[in-house]
Structure 1
C-alpha cells in the first residue's frame, strides 16, 4: 500500500513549491505573499523511483477557531490526521521560529512518522538554520531547494529510511500499487471519424467545474455534496484561491468536482495573486466537461453572471445554472417564474439551458442538479448521422431558403457532423463568406429543436467545394474555347507554316 504524506509548515516556507516540484507541474498557486494556500490539495508525487500520495496544506497560524486563519489551521490538522506521515518544512534561511516549535509539538502528539525538511538550503547563511533544526527533536534535517530542485535524491532516501522499503515499494502484484494515477482523468474521445459514434457510456468518469461570482456559495455546495467540511468556507468573499479537485461518487459514477475562485469583473482584478486565481479558474473551466454556474438567488443575473455564462459557452463546455441560496427566498413560485423569464431573455445564445434551484446550506435540490448534469453531459456527447442531417437540411432550406446576397442565391449542398463535445457541424455551400449571421442562428435554433440539443453550445462552419478554375489570387479563370495561336497544328500533328504577308 502506498503512503500518504502531508506537507506541513508555517506560512511562506515553500510548501506549495515543493508540492509542484514533486507533482512535476504547476498545480498549486505560488506567490511571495504568505498564506496563499488555504484549502488542502491532494496530488500524486514522483521522486525518482518513489511514488506516493501527498497533500498540500495551509500554513499553521495561531488564531481562534472562528477566524479565517483558525479554519485554515483546522484544514491542515485534518490533512495530518488523514495522512500516514508528514513532510515538515522549515525555512533554513530564516531559522527556527515559535510557530515551527509549536507545529513540532503538534506532530509529536500525533505519533506519526515525520521527515524534517530544511528548504531554501541554497541560500547564503542557511547553515545556521539547519543546525537550529536539531532542537526540534525530529531527527536530522534534509536540506533541499524546492525552487531549484536541489536535494531531491536526499529527500527520497530520507522518506524511504523513515517509512521503510516495504511501505514505500509495495510488491508489483499488489493491485493497490498500480492504483496511483495522474491527477488528470483522460477525456473520453468520441469516434469523430465515424458517421455514428458509440453509445453513451454512463459509467465513465465525469469532470464538473463549479464557477460563479465571489461569495455565491460554490465551496458550500461542494461540501454538501461530499457530506463533510472538505473545503474552506465562511462569510468572507474570495476565500477560495486555488482550483481544488475533489473526488465524489453519485449513483456508482465517479465524478471529479473542481472548486474555483470567484470571478470578479476584469477591471476590478488588480492584485497579482487574484490574477493567478482567476487564471487557475479559467484553466479549470477548459479542463471540465460540465460547468455549473452558481447564481445567487437573492441577486441573480448580475452583469458578471452573464459574462461568466457567455465565457462557458464560448469555451464549448456544457453549462448548467444553479440558483443557490434558494432557502432564503420567500415567494418561491413568483421568483421561479421571474427567473425562468430572465433566463430565456438574457441568455439567448444558449437557448434551453438547464437551470436548477438549490440550497447549499440545507442540501435541497442537489439530486436534481446531479440528474441535470448527467443529462446535459449526454446531450453534449450526442452525434447525429449524416443521412438525417442532409434530409433535415433539404427540409429546412425548403421551408426557409437562405437569402440572396448581392443578387446571387446561396445554395447549401451537404451537411455532416465533424465533432462532438460540443457538437460541431460542417455545411458545404457555394459562398461560405456570404452566409448571414442571422441565417446561421436560424439553423442553430432549428438544430436544437429538431434533434433535441437544448442548452449546449453548437458550432456550425461553412466550406466551399474545390474550384478547379480558381487561381491563387481568388479570381476565377474561365476556360477558353478557342485554341491558342502557338498551338495551331495540322491534322498530322506538325506545325503549320506561317503565311507570309505581301
Structure 2
C-alpha cells in the first residue's frame, strides 16, 4: 500500500497509482478559531473571520501545501447540538458530511475556555466516524490556557497540539503532526477530476434569496451548499470544482448583495467584499434574477459592477416554473435586457427552474459561447478595413469647424476585448461616436453580452517634438 511520504523523483514507479491530495477538515464548535486556523494553513485570508459565533455556514475548500505536499483544506460550520429544519441543524449536517468525506480531521477547541459539553458531544461523533484525528488546542498564547490544554486529554483524541492561530504560534509542531498522520493514510484512489484542464470560472451573483445556492446544488447534482428560506444564508464565497456536461468548471457561490445603503453590519460588509473578490476572479458571471421580479434596480447596479470588472455575463432567470405566460415574459425580458443594459448588448437571457432543474442545461452552451467571445482576438487588418467602412458610412462630427479623423485601430488585449483607436484631436471625439464604434464592433464581429473597452489616443505626429529655430532648419534635418 502506497502511503503519504516524501519521495525522490527517480524512485517513483511510473506504473504506481497516482496519489490524490488528502482532504483535511477543520472542525469544532462555534467560535473556537477554525476559520483563523484554516486561513493560516491555506496561507491567505480566504474565510471570513469575526468574533461573532456562527460566521461560517457552508463548507469552504482551499488548495494548500504543507511541507511541499498538496492537500485540500475544508473549513466547516461550528458544530451545534440542533435538530429539525433549523438553520443550525442544516449547518450541523454539512459539517458531519465534511467529516465523513475527509481523510484527516483537525478537531479544534478553545483552550482558554476549556473542554465544554458541546466539545464532548462532537468529539464522540468524530471518534465514531473512524477518521484519523489531530486534536488542536487553540488560543494558547497565554498561561490562562494551561488548564484547558490538560482537559483536552479527556476527549480521547491523543495529545493536544498547542497553537495560537491568531498569533501564528505553534504551526511548526502542527505541520509535523499532520505530516506524520498523513503517512498512515492510503491516498491511492484515482482522482475524480482531471486537473490538467483549465476550468471555466463561473461566479453566480444576485440579490439575497435569488436562488444562487439552489442553482449550484442542482447543477452539481447534490446538496453541497446550504440553502433555506432565510435571506442571506450564504456568507462566504464558496468555490466548487465540477465536471459539468463533460466540461471542467469552477462554480463560485456568492453572498447576495443588497442595496449599499442597507449594508451596515460588519459581517455583511465582509460578505460583500468576498463576493466582489470572487467576481474579479471569475471569467463568466451568471447574473441570477427572480422571474417574479426581474430587472430590479439592484440587478442593474450589479450588472454595472460586472461591466466595470470586465467580465462576460449571462442573465439567468430562475423560478421559471412559477411563470404562467412564459412566451410573453420571455419576449419582455429580452426587450428589457437590451434597453436597460446597453453595455451588454445582445446579452444571453436563459430561463430555467433552479429548484426542479428544468432547462438548467441551457446555461452551459450560453456560457461557453460567451466565454469564447470574451477571449476573441480580431486581426488588425480586418479591424482597419472595418474602420474605413464605418467612418465612410458615418463620419465623426466636426468640432469647432474642424473634422476629427479616425486613422487606425488595433486590439491590444482580450478578456475583455480592448481596442486602441488612433485619431486626430482624440480628446474632442464625442462619447456618442465612441459608443457607435463599440456597438459596431459588437454587432459586426459577433461579440454580444461582453463589455468592450475602447481607448482613444491621439495620432502621433512625427514633427510634434521638433523645435524650429528661427533662421535654421528643423532639428534632425540635414541640408541637401
Q: How does the TM-score come out when normalised to structure 1?
A: 0.86
Give the Å deviation of 1:157: 2.4
Which residue of the other structure, out of 115, 118, 123, is the alignment partner of 2:137? 118
Which residue of the other structure, out of 227, 234, 237, is the alignment partner of 2:228? 234
Contact 2:240 2:250 in 1 (8 A): yes
Give the Å deviation of 1:204: 4.1
Which residue of the other structure, out of 88, 99, 106, is the alignment partner of 1:87? 106
Change (3 A) 1:478 1:22: closer
Higher mean C-alpha deviation, range 249-258 or range 219-228:
249-258
Tell me the equivalent position of 1:496.
none
Which residue of the other structure, out of 468, 482, 500, is the alignment partner of 2:471? 482
SS in 1 for 2:165: coil
Give 5+ residue unaligned stretches, structure 1.
186-202, 472-476, 485-502
Which residue of the other structure, out of 48, 52, 61, is the alignment partner of 1:29? 48
Tell me the equivalent position of 1:63.
82
Change (3 A) 1:107 1:167: closer
Give the Å deviation of 1:85: 2.5
Give the Å deviation of 1:139: 1.2
Separation of aligned partners in 2, 1:443 and 1:4: 51
Separation of aligned partners in 1, 2:30 and 2:419: 51
Which residue of the other structure, out of 128, 147, 159, is the alignment partner of 1:140? 159
What is the CA deviation profile of residues 121-178 of structure 1, one whole-angstrom value per residue up to 9, with x for unaligned ones?
A: 1134100001111111211111011112211121122223434x3549x8xxx8979x
Higher mean C-alpha deviation, range 354-363 or range 343-352:
343-352
Contact 2:407 2:459 in 1 (8 A): no
Give the Å deviation of 1:262: 0.2
Which residue of the other structure, out of 323, 326, 337, is the alignment partner of 2:331? 337
Separation of aligned partners in 2, 1:483 and 1:75: 84
Tell me the equivalent position of 1:282.
276
Matched, 1:270 2:267: no
What is the CA deviation profile of residues 259-308 of structure 1, one whole-angstrom value per residue up to 9, with x for unaligned ones?
A: 00001111111011111100010011111000000001101111000000
Change (3 A) 1:8 1:220: same
Tell me the equivalent position of 2:146.
127
Separation of aligned partners in 1, 2:133 and 2:150: 18
Contact 1:204 1:253 in 2 (8 A): no
Change (3 A) 1:180 1:320: closer
Contact 1:118 1:142 in 2 (8 A): yes
Taking the TM superposition and a 5 Å limit, the aligned residue runs for 1:53-202 are 53-163=72-182, 165=183, 167=185
Tell me the equivalent position of 1:442.
436
Separation of aligned partners in 2, 1:72 and 1:180: 30
Matched, 1:377 2:371: yes
Taking the TM superposition and a 5 Å limit, the aligned residue runs for 1:390-401 are 390-401=384-395
Matched, 1:347 2:341: yes
Give 5+ residue unaligned stretches, structure 2.
1-18, 474-480
Separation of aligned partners in 2, 1:55 and 1:118: 18
- Tell me the C-alpha RMSD between the 2 structures: 2.1
Taking the TM superposition and a 5 Å limit, the aligned residue runs for 1:307-326 are 307-326=301-320
Tell me the equivalent position of 1:422.
416
Higher mean C-alpha deviation, range 44-53 or range 6-15:
44-53
Give the Å deviation of 1:112: 1.6
Higher mean C-alpha deviation, range 203-212 or range 382-391:
203-212
Separation of aligned partners in 1, 2:40 and 2:454: 42
Change (3 A) 1:367 1:180: closer
Separation of aligned partners in 2, 1:458 and 1:358: 28
Separation of aligned partners in 2, 1:162 and 1:468: 70
Tell me the equivalent position of 1:403.
397
Which residue of the other structure, out of 366, 380, 386, is the alignment partner of 1:386? 380
Matched, 1:210 2:204: yes
Separation of aligned partners in 1, 2:355 and 2:462: 66
Separation of aligned partners in 1, 2:245 and 2:292: 31
Tell me the equivalent position of 2:426.
432
Give the Å deviation of 1:64: 1.9
Tell me the equivalent position of 2:285.
291
Tell me the equivalent position of 1:41.
60
Separation of aligned partners in 1, 2:90 and 2:69: 33
Change (3 A) 1:51 1:371: closer
Separation of aligned partners in 2, 1:401 and 1:214: 46
- The structure having more radius of gyration, on CA atoms, is 1
SS in 2 for 1:89: strand
4+ residue segments displaced more than 6 Å: 174-177
Give the Å deviation of 1:180: 12
Separation of aligned partners in 2, 1:45 and 1:117: 19
Q: Give the aligned length.
A: 453
